[in-house]
A and B are shown apart, each in its own frame.
Chain A
């Protein structure tokens, strides 16, 4: 009996050993991490690809156009046959006009909506409104662009007769509507994570809900709110289809918002949808503009990360 039991034990040990040493299995255990690390490196390669693509083609562009002309030039006229001018400032200004208008629309509304959802609304209301905000965030930008061109612009023209068909105001407002859910949702998250005990402390001292929201919750959640705004503005800077459809294609160096403008993104779209041949200066210029855009958004994103890490209140 004893020897039989021992025999069984040995056979189990053998089975375990056998299973451990099975060649295919060992191979897979070694192989899979390598395959997975390769997939993880693809995302790193993507970043490297973006940076190198932009740098190489931009370098090619600066062989033909001087950097100072590009950075400080106040006229962007790449299509004027004999004397093309590549001063990027009008494009940057166009982008900033749209982004500032968008921020003016989205920041107050977004933060107000976040305060309402986090401090005033009942659980049930919050559970209905938040998904609707998500839907608003999921609407494709081409739909917003169409909305800006065919609805908001004619509406604004009723109010401001001097408004052109293509202008900075209408796409600015619509980009604001587009980034509003992002600010509302991220700010609401930041405010909801402020612990209830702090609210209750303030309420017990006789503060009204408004005072609790403005003087207690808002300061405590400020880093999250500012980070959400910076992220949203970065999204507005990179927004393409709304400004391509409703913004026009005349880069100007002024602060007028009723006339036609052109943003960095809209210029890239304009060149891509036309037929600027490969290897022409115009072809390389979209990479220079793309690089400028990339630098802008990268700085904004890093800033948002820095703010939310550095100034976060820990509870």
Chain B
């Protein structure tokens, strides 16, 4: 004896199943739409800019004439800026993460610091520019220099590095620390010889990703008043400089159409730089990260 009449069920289910497949298509289209924009964006920039990518483009300084415009000062400026941001933000970020994970007691002060970090992560980057303009450029009289910009950008990506480092340190199992204490190691020895070596891949991955965000960032540098076109290379920490996104911003603003192509070429260089950094981060994550 059958308790359920299949034909009735099918009849009732039919429209519901139809809705299901229709909406599945809609969800799929929505997802591919996002991916499609990425493809359009990349294709358009590569077709526009690749014609301008040649040796002269890398070897020339900024110029009023599109065919003479180059990216030398901007590229070197971006790399130098990175060399300042990386140590400053990592020392501060990893230090904070070690303190919060290994030393801090669970009290109001600790949760205040934690809350402060998550709110800092949501502050718009342009506000960090205003902070840098007042504190570093004016109060500490660093001027519109590599150092002032490096400090500003370090503070900007600090929350990201702290959170990534905290997660990496938290992932090191407790047993390893206890084993280390059991062998007679002190707290600091345990941190430097057991916890940090295990956590370093995660810390590096997070830091490189944060650094790549800083490399692509424009707004705070504009607020600091960093010049967009420079005819010389920076020669010291207090020297003036310019970066790739700033240079692209300047080209994109210009009304002559030829500068659009120059801007596209600049974007290609910037994107390649970011792809390299992201690949290194992913390589470190896949190669060295241990799962416990």
Contact = CB atoms under 8 A, between A and B. Distances in A.
A273 interface: yes
A50 B152 CA distance: 11
Interface string A131-158: 0110110111111111101110000000
B274 to A, nearest CB: 7
Contacts of B44: 147, 151
A94 B162 CA distance: 34
- A interface, over-half SS: helix
B26 interface: yes
Interface stretch (A3-11, A84-92, A96-104, A286-294): A286-294
B92 A42 contact: yes
Interface size class of B (residues with CB under 8 A): 35 or more
Contact of B124 (A138, A177, A240): A240
Interface stretch (A69-77, A192-200, A204-212, A217-225): A204-212
B125 A140 contact: no
Contacts of B1: none
Contacts of A116: 24, 27-28, 30-31
Q: Which of B40, B120, B218 has the most CB of A within 10 A?
A: B218
A228 interface: no
Interface in B226-271: 228, 245, 248-249, 252-253, 260, 263-264, 267, 270-271
- B interface, over-half SS: helix
A308 B225 CA distance: 38
B122 A265 contact: no
Contact of B135 (A53, A145, A149, A181): A53
Given A209-B20, A209-B24, A268-B223, A35 B96 contact: no
B147 interface: no
Interface string B173-213: 00000000000101110010000000000000000010011
B218 A141 contact: yes
B292 interface: no
B102 to A, nearest CB: 8
Given A265-B124, A293-B126, A272 B225 contact: yes
B245 A142 contact: yes
A99 B7 CA distance: 50
A177 B33 CA distance: 10
A261 interface: no
Interface string B23-57: 11011101101110110110011000000000000
A42 B37 CA distance: 39
B31 A43 contact: no
B24 A46 contact: no
A128 B277 CA distance: 20
Contacts of A38: 95
Contact of A269 (B37, B162, B219): B219
A129 B31 contact: yes
Given A47-B119, A113-B34, A305-B118, A138 B212 contact: yes
A41 to B, nearest CB: 8
Q: Which of B112, B113, B224 has the most CB of A within 10 A?
A: B113
A238 B232 CA distance: 33
Nearest to A210: B20
> 10 tightest CB-CB pairs across the interface, nearest first?
A238-B124, A140-B216, A39-B95, A112-B30, A116-B27, A36-B99, A301-B122, A240-B219, A210-B20, A208-B20
16 contacts: A39-B91, A42-B96, A43-B120, A47-B120, A50-B131, A53-B135, A116-B24, A136-B35, A140-B215, A142-B218, A145-B249, A209-B24, A240-B222, A245-B252, A268-B126, A290-B130
Given A132-B38, A136-B37, 18 more contacts: A28-B188, A36-B98, A37-B103, A40-B113, A42-B92, A43-B162, A53-B134, A112-B26, A116-B28, A140-B215, A140-B245, A140-B274, A143-B271, A234-B122, A238-B125, A240-B222, A269-B126, A290-B127
